[in-house]
Amino acid sequence: MPSTSGLASSVEHEQAVGMLRASYQRIPPGDPVRLAKRSSNLFRPRTAVDSPGLDVSGLTGVVAVDPVARTADVQGMCTYEDLVDATLPHGLVPMVVPQLRTITLGGAVTGLGIESSSYRAGLPHESVLELDILTGAGEVITARPTGEHADLFRTFPNSYGSLGYATRLRIELDRISPYVALRHVRTGLDELAPTIEEIIAAGTYDGAPVHFLDGVAFSPSEAYLTLGRNSDTAIRPSDYTGQQIFYRSIQQRPTDSLTAYDYLWRWDTDWFWCSRAFGAQVPWVRRVWPRRWRRSDVYYKIVAFENRHQVAAGINRRRGRPDRERVVQDVEIPADQLAGFLRWFDAEVGMRPVWLCPLRLRSDQAWPLYPLAPATTYVNVGFWGTVPIVPGASDGDVNRRIEAAVADFGGHKSLYSDAYYDRDTFDQLYNVPALTEVKHKYDPDARLTGLYEKAVTRR
């Protein structure tokens, strides 16, 4: 029988949906419909509006976990941190757990999420069994893979709120052991893709099972694949929430072990490696920086403060240093093009290190708005930081070159951060005609902001 998680009950969920619908009714006709949500994991600002937003404050919990069926009913604004807290006591986790604690399930499904299980489990929306969506027309519709609203179900991923907002999702869960044993395998750039393909085909490496797979390229001559294996025991699991830093351990030790919980959040403590920008990796700073504040949402707030007030940028200008362009992107590159793209990126952009995460769609059916090819291995390349704006260049030039290169290498770019495409190119890459057809059906008065406006013009 399903068990109530304690974070939300069915009655509380219905009350929260009622509050959401009431807040929709309070938005003046013709005004845009948006979330009244203070925090976000998106890296693109948007134009402020004066009208009230949708009240999603009651939609942050887990309604139920069914350990037998291995499913969970989850509210749309529930963070993965809270979701894992509800499922892990049953030895279960979502099929894909994105790296950062405060990413919400609804956000990962309407946007994109990825992690080291994606080479076998695909993307978060592929483990959704059904979901309730508040549409632009103010209706709450249950969408499933088949039936009356199958078009909405399949078009919802990568729509970023342009088709509505998920209030409840029923998802599949995956088994996980108490510990994850790690092996860091150094390889050259040209060997990355063949090794990834061999692991995916066999499910093993050197005879040992592989349940999780990601990697890091520190330079063109130094790249690693990290192979994770479910394990029931560990002699002395490592702790990277204190003075030690996970990404540095990849270069320092060939094997490692973490609790399942620490493995899931191994990247969150230092926001991969981006905490170094705030001094959090300086030993004396780290000793006095409270552990509870070494997490991605704290770093994000620091970035948001800087974006608003330009404190560091002002100091740099007074010191005669050039302004800097934000380059925060995740792109999917076909595995057979990976080495070429990494060499281009290192030569033309020069940001190090970069994250590597293989993925494949779970089934032979593609998803309309993010058209990855079935039965094809891609590698997510993640890079997050800033680069100096050289004399004669403009802010955005490096990102535009990256967008062009991703297309040249046959890849695709996720939309959680800055995008610079012209409308015709964007419409082609993200299949906007298919989105428009579904949007006319479920948002006939265009109350919800369009995808291009959200991703590019930041409305």
CATH match of 310-420 with 3.90.1170.50: no
Query: In percent, how much of the chain has pLDDT > 90?
Result: 88
Q: What is the pLDDT of residues 197-227, one digit of tens each?
A: 999 999 999 999 999 999 999 999 999 999 9
pLDDT at residue 230 is higher than 70: yes
Confidence of residue 311 (pLDDT cuts 50, 70, 90): confident
Among 420, 428, 349, which residue's Cα sits nearest to residue 390? 349
DSSP 97-165: --SSTT-BHHHHHHS----TTHHHH--GGGGEEEEEEE-TTS-EEEE-SSSTTHHHHHH-TT-TTSS-E
Strands 208-209 and 212-219: unpaired
Ranges of CATH 3.30.465.10 domains, the chain:
3-176+440-455
Place of tokens 């990855």: 372
Cα 351 to Cα 197: distance, rounded to the nearest angstrom: 26
Q: Which fold has domain 3-176+440-455?
A: 3.30.465
Query: pLDDT (tens digit, 9 = 90+) per residue, 98-156?
Result: 999 999 999 999 998 999 999 999 999 999 999 999 999 999 999 999 999 999 999 99
Is residue 46 pLDDT above 80, yes or no?
Answer: no
Check residue 279 and give left, alpha or beta (phi > 0: left; psi -120 to 50: alpha). Answer: left
* DSSP letter string, 294-325: -SHHHHHHHHHHHHHH-HHHHHHHHTTPPPEE
Look-up: residue for tokens 């006709």?
29
pLDDT tier for residue 2 given thresholds of 50, 70 and 90: very low
Which residues neighbour 227 within 8 Å (Cβ) at sequence distance 6 or greater? 182, 183, 184, 185, 199, 205, 208, 210, 212, 213
Neighbours of 36 (CB within 10 A): 14
Q: Per 3-state DSSP, what percentage of the chain is helix, strand, and coil (rounded to 5)?
A: 35, 25, 40
> Higher-confidence residue: 147 or 365?
147
Q: 402: Cβ–Cβ under 8 A, 6 or more apart, which residues?
A: 327, 329, 331, 345, 349, 413
Q: Within the chain, which residue ranges are assigned CATH 3.30.70.2520?
A: 310-420
